Amino acid sequence: MTYIVKPVNHHPNLEKNKLGLTRRDYEGTISTLCAGCGHDSISAAVIEACYDLSISSDQIAKLSGIGCSSKSPSYFLNQAHGFNSVHGRMPSVATGANLGNKDLLYLGVSGDGDTAAIGIGQFMHAARRQLNITYIVENNGTYGLTKGQFSATNDQGSKSKYGEENVFAPIDLPTMAIQLGAGFVGRSFSGDKQQLVPLLKAAMKFEGFSLIDIISPCVTFNNHLGSTKSFDHIREHNESVSSLDFVPIGKEIKTTYKEGTKVDVPLHDGAMLTLEKLSKKYNPLDKGQAIQSLNEAEKNGKVLTGLLFINPEVKDHAEILNISDTPLNQLAEKELCPGAKKLAKINASLN
């Protein structure tokens, strides 16, 4: 961590996006995480993605649970409202927030302890309900704030900093999310900005539950030899299944992918996701194949990354519930309170 206060003044010639904002306008307060923490790279990728998409920060709500990961929403998007809720319960708060105003963009930031252990129930039900959220898991396989206990995503046989061996099999969040019907499931690595930023942009544009499981090594407690969530281990075992470009509405698709490897996926607002399959076997539109590939990779000690699954057909939670086009928090009093005349009728039905 650093104690240096961020300078407020911006360089006058910084690059600007469509809203006339610079990347600095998307920053947050200074990080208090350990120097070199993977989570900080993820915050930088979120800043980059929001800048690229020219989203106004006030249209974003960032929510988190408890843990190192859940502190990170402070470190990006200062002008967005944030909600650091209780441990493992961010999905329910985000669900309620979304019911209240379905038009904001919801960024959920969680960790492997927050999602795969204490919060696994809420995570599963949010995926099942197709909550419209970009759900980021900053996955480091360890409980950092409480000093290095194993988490439920830690690989069996992986060693802790203190030499202890993890004896339980891990929970694979992407596999579980696909099974539960999440519309968009990806995995990435905090050290791979090139893959992560387009994945984040696509997830933010996706209307439905989008999970990005981001392996984010813990430099203090889980970056040693014997750890399967260390920078070195991930770099060696990373197998990307797809590379993608996010093409906003009206832009020409210019990517030059090899014949037969390109998949175009239209998103809800008309934007296009162009995807290059890096593995012949992999089809991210096929639920069964996606799960099979994830299982095989796990057997072979590989970590599949990229866009793992997408179902562009899903309806999000608000649409399933047939919620009015005007967000519920903006309905006028006269639309909500039926008044005395209607009450007289109700009285009549009760006597």
Distance (Å) of CA 157 to CA 147, 235, 297, 300: 19, 19, 17, 14
Query: Is 82 or 226 the residue whose CB approaches other proteins more closely?
Result: 82
**Rounded least distance, CB 2 to other proteins, Å:** 16
Query: Is 253 or 321 the residue whose CB approaches other proteins more closely?
Result: 321
User: Of 246, 248, 244, nearest to 257 (Cα)?
Assistant: 244
**Rounded least distance, CB 221 to other proteins, Å:** 22
**Rounded least distance, CB 56 to other proteins, Å:** 5
Query: Is 87 or 193 the residue whose CB approaches other proteins more closely?
Result: 87
Residues contributing to the site for other proteins (CB under 8 A) = 56-59, 61, 63, 73-74, 78-86, 89, 91-101, 103-104, 121-122, 125, 318, 321-325, 327-329, 331, 333, 335-340, 342-343, 346-347, 350-351
User: Of 190, 180, 198, 194, nearest to 131 (Cα)?
Assistant: 180
H/E stretch holding 214 reads strand 209-215
> To 5 degrees, how large is the angle CA 90–CA 27–CA 74?
30
**Rounded least distance, CB 275 to other proteins, Å:** 32
Query: Is 39 or 233 the residue whose CB approaches other proteins more closely?
Result: 39
**Rounded least distance, CB 323 to other proteins, Å:** 6
DSSP lists the bridge partners of residue 27 as 76
Alpha-helix residue ranges (DSSP H) falling in 82-230: 90-100, 112-116, 120-129, 173-180, 193-205
Query: Is 78 or 179 the residue whose CB approaches other proteins more closely?
Result: 78
H/E stretch holding 277 reads strand 272-277
